[in-house]
């Protein structure tokens, strides 16, 4: 029988979501990583309202953020993509009601 740590490791590597266009599949671990980029570090269940720089493939990162918020928080995220000439990077603003609102807590 697998240990709890082995079960957690297996779950993190399981594909649990797909972008609406079918272009990207996401593992549970990828969704947690994406969510951790945008949630309040003190309480992930509160409203999301942040701006973050994008690294790597912006399209995949945006899709991961949207799917993470939907899969884990149960709500839709409004994501606005732009380019920050000061940072010389693409950035996104992410807003969502958060888990508490969506769960009715």
Average pLDDT per consecutive 10 residues, the chain (105 residues; last block may be shorter) = 66 85 94 96 96 93 97 95 91 96 86
Dihedral of CA atoms 68, 73, 77, 82 in degrees, nearest 10, equals -50
What's the confidence (pLDDT) of residue 2? 67
Phi, psi of 104, rounded to the nearest 5 degrees: 75, 25
| Cα 58 versus chain centre, distance | 13
* Rounded distance between C-alpha atoms, residue 99 and residue 70, angstroms: 10
What's the confidence (pLDDT) of residue 104? 86
pTM: 0.87
């Amino acid at each position: 029988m697998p240990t709890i740590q082995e079960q957690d490791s297996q779950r993190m590597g399981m594909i649990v979501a797909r972008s609406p266009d079918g272009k990207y599949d996401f593992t549970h671990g990828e969704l947690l990583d994406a969510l951790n980029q945008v949630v309040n570090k003190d309480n992930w269940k509160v409203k999301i309202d942040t701006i973050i720089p994008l690294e790597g493939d912006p399209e995949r990162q945006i899709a991961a953020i949207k799917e993470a918020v939907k899969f884990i928080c149960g709500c839709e995220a409004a994501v606005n993509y732009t380019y920050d000439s000061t940072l010389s990077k693409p950035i996104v603003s992410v807003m969502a009601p958060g888990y508490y609102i969506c769960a009715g807590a």
